[in-house]
Amino acid sequence: MNMLVTGGAGFIGSHIVDALIEQGHKVAVVDNLSTGFVENVNPRARFYKMSVSDAKLAEVFEQERPEVVSHQAAQVVIQRSVADPIFDAEENIVGSLNVILNSIRFGVRKIIYASSGGAVYGEPVHLPVKEDHPINPSSQYGVSKHTVEHYLYLYGTPYGLDYVVLRYPNVYGPRQNPEGEAGVVAIFARQMLRGEPLTIFGQGDKTRDYTHVGDVVRANFLAMEKGKGIYNVGTGVETTDQEMFDTLAELLGYKGIPKYAPARKGEIYRICLDFSKARHELGWQPQLTLEEGLVQTIEYYRVRFTPPRI
């Protein structure tokens, strides 16, 4: 099957590309390398360096004729969305609309859209959060990610475009970029392995739902063939910042004491996602516990972040 993966040089997208190619699919990747890395791109994929908001994206669709689009590309830094909401909207809303319209124009069968289960709901009324929870984003990033869900609904049935929205939790694993604040595991691991001081924003009691990238890739594959609409992809388990720090410190042998700084604007206090709908309709559930996933990820961090011996 012909596949197009936007953001395929990034953390999650590159893992999806690898899995697709391993299963024999023909894959094209669109990525502007703003946060992705060319070395992440599978050499058997055809790579186009461009933003999804670029008018030339139509040429990629015409050339590749994808049957399914995995739309992983996005501006994902919450603090940048707060500081520059126009840029955030251009990348996440206008860029996604460009993907949707070209998908309709060139006969794409289905779009898999990576949304955010941490950002679109806002501060939860109850936990774990289900898909019908009130939508009250607390950041511009959350607004932009949710807006695209409306566009998919708008263009879906009337234009015969099938789609699945996957609302991700905090995804972690190999290739995670420590430059974005969503990459808590990568950020902590890099600083610990380098023996650097580490900062926790808030009092350490802020919680997130951490899900391994391998589990997220499986959700994407299941969504290619079944399901329609919106699904949470998470573990349903809350992990505090302090718990994450303590677990990684033990695994990596870090002896430092974290500093604590004021919580950042746009960040929610608690979140975890109810995945019962995905389990029922997609046949998906997480397979790795947090500690199992972190142990599997540690060797990648050791190779990438440990300073060379002199």
Active site residues: 141
Please state whether the peptide bond connecting residue 43 to the residue before it is cis, i.e. omega within 30 degrees of 0: no
Nearest 5°: CA angle at 282, between 278 and 288?
A: 65
114 burial class (0-12, 13-18, 19+ CB within 10 angstroms)? buried
107: alpha, beta or left, given left = phi > 0 and alpha = psi -120 to 50? Answer: left
Give the list of residues 6+ apart from residue 212 with CB closer than 8 angstroms, or none: 171, 172, 173, 286, 288, 292, 293, 296, 297
CB 199 within 8 A of CB 246: no
What is the rounded end-to-end Cα distance, in angstroms, of the chain? 49
CB 117 within 8 A of CB 273: yes
198 secondary structure, DSSP code:
-
Phi, psi of 266 (to 5 degrees): 90, -10
Quote the strand ranges of the chain, DSSP E: 2-6, 26-31, 46-49, 68-71, 110-116, 162-168, 170-172, 199-201, 207-208, 210-212, 229-232, 239-240, 259-261
Instruction: Indicate the SS3 state at residue 225.
Output: helix
Give the list of residues 6+ apart from residue 157 with CB closer than 8 angstroms, or none: none
